[in-house]
Amino acid sequence: MNKKNTKSKKSSKIINIKKNSNYIRKIGIIFIVIVISFALLIGRIAYLQFVEGSYLKERAFNQQSINQIISPKRGSIYDSTGKVLATSATVDTITINPENIKAKKSEDTPALKEKLAKEFSDLFSLDYNETLEKVNSSSQVETIAKKVEQDKVEELKKWLKDNEISSGINIDEDTKRYYPNGSVLSQVIGACGSDNQGLSGIENYWDSTLSGTPGKIVSSKASSGSEIPNSEKSYIPAENGSDLTLTVDFYIQSIVEKYLKQAVDNNNIEHGGDCIVMNPKTGDILAMATYPSYNLNEPFTPNETVAKTYNSLSSEEKANAIYKMWSNKSVSELYEPGSVFKLITASAALEENITKPNIKGDFNCPGYEIVNGVRRINCWKTDGSHGSQTLTQALEHSCNPALMQLGARIGTSTLYKYYKAFGFFDKTGIDLNGEASSIFLDENDVKPIERATYSFGQRFSITPIQMITAISAIANDGVLMKPRIVKSITNTDTGAVTNIDTQEVRQVLSSETAKEMKEMMYSVVENGTGFRGAVTGYSVGGKTGTSEPNPNHPENGYVATYCAISPVEDTQVVLLLNLYKPPVSNHQGGTLAGPVVSQMLSEILPYLGIPSDADNTDDEDLITVPEVRNKTITEAEKVLKDKGFTTKITTENDKNATLVVDQVPKPGATLSKNSIIMLYDQDSRVTTTVPDLTGKGKYQATTELRNSNLNISVEGKGTVVSQDPPKGSSVDAGTVVKVTLK
C-alpha cells in the first residue's frame, strides 16, 4: 500500500514537472513573440521616423493645407527704343470646389448646379454637358475657364451675387500674353501658349528669363476640405519674369516688312522671303523679317498662305504647317547663297595675295568654264561672254567663269580655311532657337567640280544669318562679330539691368583687304549688276545673287538675293534680302531684289541720322505760309493745298460756313513742302508735347515731329544737338520746332 502511494506520488510529480515545463515553454514563446513584435514595432516606428519621416510629414502637411499658386507676371519684350513688342495683361482663372457648391436646402442643390453650369457655358462659350459634369464632380478642384477677361469676370461676379452663391467658386488672378503690333516681328518674337509658356522664337529661347518663378499662399484646411477661418497663412511671393530689350528697331523693322511684303506679293514669289539688317560694328540685328508672317495673338490660326490648303491636310500635316509658319527663315532654314558668296572667294584671294582688284586680263570669260577637262559650266550671261576682266570687273559682271578660275588658284584647302574663319562651319550662336547647321562636303571629298561651284556660291547650304554675319565682317574692317538680338535684361522686381555685351569673334581679314573689298562692292553698284540698289545721296556697296535650282530639289526654284552695305566709307548698315522661288521669267537678284533694297535703304539711312549728300534743303524749296484767317475753312484748305501744305482741323462745324479764326504757323513763316498748317475756329484748339529729338537725324526728327502734328526748321547737317522749343514743352499743334544739326 505504501509502495503504491509512493509510486503514485512520484508519477504525479513527474506529470507536474512536465506540465510546468510546458507552461514555462509557452510563456517563453509568448515572451519571444512579444519581444519580436515590440522590436518590429520599434523598427517600424524608427523607419517611419527616420527613413520616411520627411515624406510622411510632407503628406500630412499637404492633407492639412491649401496651396494657392500665385502666378508670376511674364516679362515684357521691348524694341531698342522702348516700344512694347510683347507684354502680359491681368486676366483671371475660374475654378470651382464642387462639394462646396450647395443651396440653402440640400434638395435644391442639383438644380443650383445645373443653373451654374448653364451660366458658365453661356458666359465662357463652353459645352454645357461637360461643364455640368465638372460642377457635379467629386474632385476637390475643377478648372472652368482660363485667361478670362475682366469684363467677363465682373459679369460672373454680378451673377453669383444675384444668385446668392458665395462659396465653391474661385477667381484667381492670372496673366495673358498680348502682342500690340500683331504680326510685326512675328517669327522672331514667337508666341506663348495658353499656359504662358513660350512656343517659339524669343518667347521660347528666353522662356526661363521671361517666365519668372510662381509663388504661393499656404493655409490650413479642415477634414471637409474647406479652409479653416483665421488660420495662420504662409505667403511666398512670386518672382516676376524679367524684361528683355532687343537690338531691333521697330521703325526699321516696319520699313523692312513693308517692302518685303510688297516684293513677295507684287512679284508672285512662291516661297516668300526674308531680310536682315545688321550693324556690322556691333553685330546688332536692327531688323529681321520673314514673309509671310502670322498674327502673334492667334499663333494657331493659319495665315493666308497656309489657309489655302489647310483644311485638306491631315492632323499631322496641319501641325507641321503651323510649325513651318512659325519658322524664322533667317535663322532656321538653309539656302544656297549664289553669287553674293563670290565676295568670300574674292576676300580669300586678296588676303592670300593671289590677285589684286584691278589687274588687267587677270580673268577670261568665254561664256563658260571647262572644269577638270570634262565638265562645262556656263556663265549666267547666255547671250555672249564677259571676255577679259579684272577681279573688280568680274564682281561687277557677277561672272561665274572668272570666280571658278579664281577658286582653282586659291585651292580647296585655303578656301576651307576662310570658310571656317568667316564662320560658315559653325552656328553663329545668335540668341534664338532653331538655328540650323550649314551643309558642306568634307574637305577631302571636294573635287574640282565642287570647288568650282562653291567658288560662285552653289551646291552647299548655309543660313541667311551666317551670310550677313560674314559680309558684316568685310564691312567691319575684317572683324567678325557675333550677332546680337537681345541688348539687355531688366529685373522687374529690383530694376537691375544686365547688359549683354557685344562679342568680337575673330579678325578674318586685314583692314586693307576689307577696304579693297568694300571699294569693289561700291563699284558693283556704280558700274555693275547692283546698280538698282543705289540710293540717292548715299554711297552704297552691294552684290547681287541668283542661285539656280538644285538638281536634287528642283521644286525649290531660284533664289534672288542682294546684299548691300552703306555708307561704304564707314559702314553703319548691312542689309541682306532673299526672295525664294520667284517666277522663271523674273528671277535675277539684281533686277528683282535690287530695287527693293534701294527702297528699304532710302528710308533706313535717313532715319538713322546718317548724313546724305542731298541732306540740306535749299531756300528755293521753302514755301511761305499765306494768310488764310477770316476765310472759310473750305477756302483756306484750298489755298494751302495749292501751295503744297497739309492742313488739319478738329472742328465738327460746317466747313463751308465756318471761318478760320487762327492758324499755326502764322502767315509769313517759311516751311518745306507738305508741312502741317493747323486751322482753328472759335471752338477748337489743339496742343501737343514736343518730343526729345537729341541725337536724331533730320529724317527721323522730321518724322517724329509730324507724328506729333509739329513742323521742323533745320540748321546744319548731321544729328540734332539742340531744339527750340525744348523737349516736353506743351505747344499748339502746327508749331515750328527749330533744330540744330551737327
| CA-closest candidate to residue 540, choices 562, 570, 573, 568 | 568
Other beta carbons within 10 Å of 62: 11
CA torsion 399-401-405-408 (nearest 10°) is 110
Q: List, run by run, the mean pLDDT of 10-residue segments along the chain (742 residues).
A: 53 58 75 80 75 64 55 91 91 85 86 91 91 88 83 88 86 82 97 88 96 70 49 68 97 97 96 98 98 96 95 95 97 97 98 97 96 91 89 97 98 98 98 96 97 97 98 98 98 94 98 97 95 94 94 92 96 98 93 96 92 58 89 92 89 88 91 89 86 80 86 84 92 92 80
How far apart CA 378 and CA 391 sit, in angstroms, is: 18
Check if the beta carbon of residue 576 is closer than 8 Å to that of residue 275.
Answer: yes
| Gap between the Cα atoms of 241 and 74, Å rounded | 5
In this prediction, residue 484 carries a pLDDT of 98
pLDDT for res 429: 97
- 661 contacts 697 by C-beta, under 8 angstroms: no
Q: Write a three-state SS string for 260-312.
A: HHHHHHHCCCCCCEEEEEEECCCCEEEEEEEECCCCCCCCCCCCHHHHHHHCC
How many angstroms separate the CA atoms of 373 and 358, rounded? 28
Q: What is the spatial distance between Cα 220 and Cα 65, in angstroms, rounded to a whole number?
A: 4
Instruction: Please work out, in degrees rounded to the nearest 5, the angle formed at the alpha carbon of residue 68 by the alpha carbons of 67 and 70.
Output: 130
| Cα gap 678→684, rounded to integer Å | 10
- Give the H or E element holding residue 490: strand 486-490
| 558 closest CA partner among 341, 335, 314, 250 | 335
C-beta separation of 472 from 502 below 8 A: no
State the CB neighbour count (10 A cutoff) for residue 592: 24
Q: Edge-to-edge strands of the sheet including 65-70?
A: 65-70, 215-220, 234-236
Report the pLDDT value the prediction gives residue 100, as an integer from 0 to 100. 86
Pairwise CA distance, residues 559 & 289, whole Å: 17
Core vs surface per residue 661-687: b (16+ CB within 10 A) or e: eebbbeeebebbeebbbbbbbeebeee
- Angstrom CA distances, 232 to 69, 70, 217, 663, stand at 17, 18, 10, 68
d(CA 327, CA 325): 5
pLDDT at 718: 72
- Count of CB atoms situated within 10 Å of the CB of 148: 20
Q: Are strands 243-246 and 77-78 parallel, antiparallel or unpaired?
A: parallel
pTM of the predicted structure, to 2 decimals = 0.72
Positive/negative CA dihedral, 98, 101, 107, 113: negative
The strands making up 646-648's β-sheet, listed across from edge to edge, are 646-648, 676-680, 662-664
CA torsion 135-138-140-143 (nearest 10°) is: -30
DSSP-derived secondary structure letter, 542: E
Give CA angle at 352 (347, 355), nearest 5°: 75
Cα(56)–Cα(634) distance, integer angstroms: 85
Nearest by Cα to 567 from 514, 610, 526: 610
716/640 Cα distance (integer angstroms): 28
Long-range contacts of 255-258 (CB under 8 A, 24+ apart): 255/287, 255/600, 255/603, 255/604, 255/607, 256/287, 256/289, 256/600, 256/604, 257/184, 257/287, 257/289, 257/291, 257/293
Please, what is the Cα angle at 241 between 238 and 244, to 5 degrees?
A: 165
The one-character DSSP state at 500 is -
3-state secondary structure of 372: coil
pLDDT at 672: 86
Reduced to 3 states (helix: H, G, I; strand: E, B; else coil), residue 433 is coil
| CA–CA separation, 467 and 464 (whole Å) | 5
What span, in angstroms and rounded, lies between the C-alpha atoms of 508 and 473? 7
**Distance (Å, whole) CA 182 – CA 85:** 9
Helix (H, G, I), strand (E, B) or coil at 15: helix
Helix (H, G, I), strand (E, B) or coil at 316: helix
Q: 72: Cβ–Cβ under 8 A, 6 or more apart, which residues?
A: 211, 212, 213, 214, 215, 238, 239, 240, 241
CB-CB contact of 719 with 668 (8 Å): no
At 602, list the grid cell.
532710302
What is the pLDDT at residue 227? 47
Chain position carrying cell 498748317: 677
Measured at the CA of 510, the angle between CA 507 and CA 516, to 5 degrees, comes to 130
CA distances to 93, 205, 427, 582 from 431, rounded to whole Å, are 33, 7, 11, 30
